[in-house]
Amino acid sequence: MTSYPNISGILLAIDCIIFGFDGKDIKLLLIKRNFEPQKGSWSLMGGFLEANENLEDGATRILHDLTGLKNIYVEQLGVYGNVQRDPVTRTVSVVFFALINIDDHSEEAVKLHNASWISLDQRPSLIFDHNEMVYKAIEHLRYKAALHPIGFELLPEQFTIPQLQKLYEAIYNTPIDRRNFSRKLLSTGLLIDTGIKNAHSATKKAALYKLDTARYKEKFNSFWNFMPDSMENGVRI
């Protein structure tokens, strides 16, 4: 068997940043480690790439282990390879971020991994370079959500315009003008009015919409402008 001479082994890890939305806040799915190193500390969900996997398959496996979900939105974010990033051994990490409907995940799988949903503004300090990864993921989520319709991945199948506005306000941590936002969203043609009113809405039984999935897939990579021309306050992380 041919091999490369004088090359030592390096572990390849996959770390997954999982975002969810509970109707009010953007949350991260984090695990409290019950193993070393840094047992008892908070971290992202991760694992090592197996010999027969490509990167996307490894990320899908890890995400399924933690959430019980398949066919979710996942995107490669970056690679972290600082020599000293892992105190145990030389490890390079490929980072993915995922967006899920928080109501769809498996609670049993989450409990099994000692994981919890934690709001972005209450997130604890994480191990290794995971804080840096999360910061970059938040920036990337905000960039993508302004230009592409990925925000819908965080919503239930049916939703109201006020719920959608709350989602975007949570993503950007800033108030959004209701009329401008509603006009922009409806003009995209991505929303289908179900003809049903949300009886639990605080806005006098607001109309329930669903995503036009065919148009969503067809136009996903088009550039949209979901954000109003101005916001009441600056965006904060």
> Which H helix or E strand runs over 87?
none
CA dist., res. 114 & res. 108, Å (int): 10
Here the tokens at position 5 are 């001479």
The predicted model scores a pTM of 0.90
Quote the pLDDT of residue 110.
93
Quote the pLDDT of residue 232.
42
CA dist., res. 64 & res. 140, Å (int): 22
Percent of the chain with pLDDT over 70: 92
CA dist., res. 20 & res. 201, Å (int): 21
Domains, the chain, ranges and CATH? 11-124 (3.90.79.10), 149-219 (1.10.10.10)
Does residue 28 contact residue 17 with C-beta atoms inside 8 Å?
yes
Instruction: Write the pLDDT tens digit of every residue in 126-150.
Output: 999 999 999 999 999 999 998 899 9
CA dist., res. 188 & res. 8, Å (int): 53
Q: Which residues of the chain have pLDDT under 50?
A: 230-235, 237
